[in-house]
């Protein structure tokens, strides 16, 4: 029977995903485990630099990241947009303004992710391109902690739109020129690596689930700043 066939899919699945993917991947594991109860999963959630280290040391079956490493040969497939947007407290003075010049940010206390973070690198690159120097008031190693600091009125920061839920009413997304920074989540593994049946099964499952998510939410359509919703 089909159930017997599914039972054949047994073993371990080791995933390592970028911090922002924790707002997407764990939710999908429930239905996946129901389909394949014989599979045991370990999930590491960490920043860009650590994911790279794990990949170099071949510590996991599959990886999710937002930037394909240049220094490694990787097989990968993009599966969902991961726009980086400017978060501010809900009642921030700039919240109602349109097309805020990026230079205006120099006056805003800014909260920055830790060195090794891909978000930090993307933000720094954009600011450097436009000669913007922000006042970094606080450096924090977690998207969740940054959200709490923003809600507490400490400053503004750039975060993945995926981190917005479930407390979107506490935040506004500022309409700053050159934002959102466009990024995409990739599912990948070191090129040439032979994937296990379990990993291959998960790979296909995740791509399918992402397709459904896009159909249901229209998420990928939010590419221009005018389209960025305050909630979704
Ligand atoms: P980071 O990456 O946690 O290294 O900032 C987030 C992302 O690339 O989505």
47 Cβ below 6 A of ligand 1: yes
Is residue 73's pLDDT more than 90? yes
Give the ranges where 116-192 is alpha helix by DSSP (H): 118-129, 143-151
Calculate how far, in angstroms, residue 29's C-alpha sits from the geometric centre of ligand 1: 20
ipTM above 0.95, yes or no: yes
Whether the bond into 180 is cis, omega within 30 of 0? yes
Token digits of residue 226: 């005018």
pLDDT category at 218 given cuts 50, 70, 90 is: confident
| Mean local confidence (pLDDT), 86-100 | 96
19 Cβ below 6 A of ligand 1: yes
Among candidate residues 217, 199, 207, 198, the one with its CA nearest the CA of residue 28: 207
Pairing of β 62-65 and β 184-190: antiparallel
Pairing of β 62-65 and β 74-81: unpaired
172 Cβ below 6 A of ligand 1: no
Is residue 58's pLDDT more than 50? yes
Is residue 215's pLDDT more than 50? yes
Calculate how far, in angstroms, residue 37's C-alpha sits from the geometric centre of ligand 1: 30
Tell me which DSSP letter residue 175 carries: -
pLDDT at 209: 93
Q: What is the pTM of this model?
A: 0.90
Calculate how far, in angstroms, residue 14's C-alpha sits from the geometric centre of ligand 1: 19
pLDDT category at 224 given cuts 50, 70, 90 is: very low
pLDDT at 225: 41
Sign of the Cα pseudo-torsion (182, 203, 210, 15, in order): negative
C-alpha–C-alpha distance, residues 149 and 161, integer Å = 17
């Amino acid at each position: 029977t089909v159930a017997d066939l599914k039972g054949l899919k047994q073993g371990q699945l080791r995933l390592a995903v970028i911090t922002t993917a924790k707002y997407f991947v764990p939710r999908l594991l429930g239905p996946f485990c129901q389909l394949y109860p014989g599979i045991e999963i370990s999930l590491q959630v960490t920043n860009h630099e650590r994911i790279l280290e794990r990949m170099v040391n071949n510590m996991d079956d599959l990886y999710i990241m937002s930037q394909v490493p240049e220094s490694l040969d990787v097989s990968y497939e993009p599966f969902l947009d991961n726009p980086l947007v400017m978060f501010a407290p809900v009642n921030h003075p700039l919240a109602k303004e349109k097309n805020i010049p990026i230079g205006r940010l120099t006056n805003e206390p800014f909260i920055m992710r830790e060195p090794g973070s891909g978000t930090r690198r993307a933000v720094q690159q954009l600011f450097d391109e436009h000669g913007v120097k922000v006042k970094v008031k606080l450096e924090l190693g977690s998207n969740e902690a940054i959200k709490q600091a923003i809600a507490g009125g400490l400053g503004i920061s750039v975060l993945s739109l995926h981190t917005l839920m479930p407390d979107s009413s506490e935040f506004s997304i500022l309409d700053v020129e050159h934002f959102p920074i466009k990024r995409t989540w990739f599912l990948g593994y070191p090129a040439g690596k032979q994937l296990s049946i379990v990993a291959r099964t998960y790979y296909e499952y995740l791509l399918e689930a992402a397709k459904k998510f896009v159909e249901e939410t229209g998420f990928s359509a939010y590419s221009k700043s005018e389209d960025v919703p305050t909630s979704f």
